[in-house]
Amino acid sequence: MTMTPEETAEFVNRLYATCAQGDWDTVATMLTDDFVAYEADTLPMKGSYHGWEGLRTLYSKAFQQVDLGEIEPTGMALGENLAIVVINMHFADPDLAPAELCELFRFRDGKCCEIKPYYYDPAPFVAAHEAKLAKAG
């Protein structure tokens, strides 16, 4: 089942919203059984995360690493069975530079099977993580 660009964009926006609401039962219905999300070795939450439980763990782990301000999507590119979302991740401390990244979503049979973020430069996220650690003492 191939989704139209409109269906793909709506799906990605719904997945973001559903994760943000913590509705993991619904998230589970949106992912393939072999779903995997990856984080680069340069980030504090490095590794691969499998299934909806893995995405929940990653979501929790990633946002415990930094004091997040706002996630600002700035664009979306759509292809056959994939979407790329361009994001500026702003941190609570306005003195910290935002992290610029793209998240690649792959789809199979109308469900998400993979998410892979690509950071332009991981240093802003790492700096925000270090600032949170320093604040915690």
Residues 108 and 122 sit within 8 Å (Cβ to Cβ): no
| Confidence bin at 85 (pLDDT 50/70/90) | very high
Euclidean distance between CA atoms 111 and 28, whole angstroms: 10
- In 3D, which of 87, 73, 79 has the Cα closest to residue 107? 79
CA nearest to 7, candidates 112, 93, 87, 95: 112
SS3 label, residue 85? strand
Does 65 have pLDDT greater than 90? no
Q: What is the pLDDT of residue 62?
A: 86
Which of helix, strand or coil describes residue 110?
A: coil
Q: What is the DSSP string of 115-127?
A: EEEEES-SHHHHH
Give the Cα separation of 46 and 32 in Å (integer): 22
Say if residues 110 and 1 touch (Cβ distance below 8 Å): yes
pLDDT at 135 over 90: no
pLDDT above 90 for 37: yes
Lowest mean pLDDT among 2-6, 27-31, 45-49: 2-6
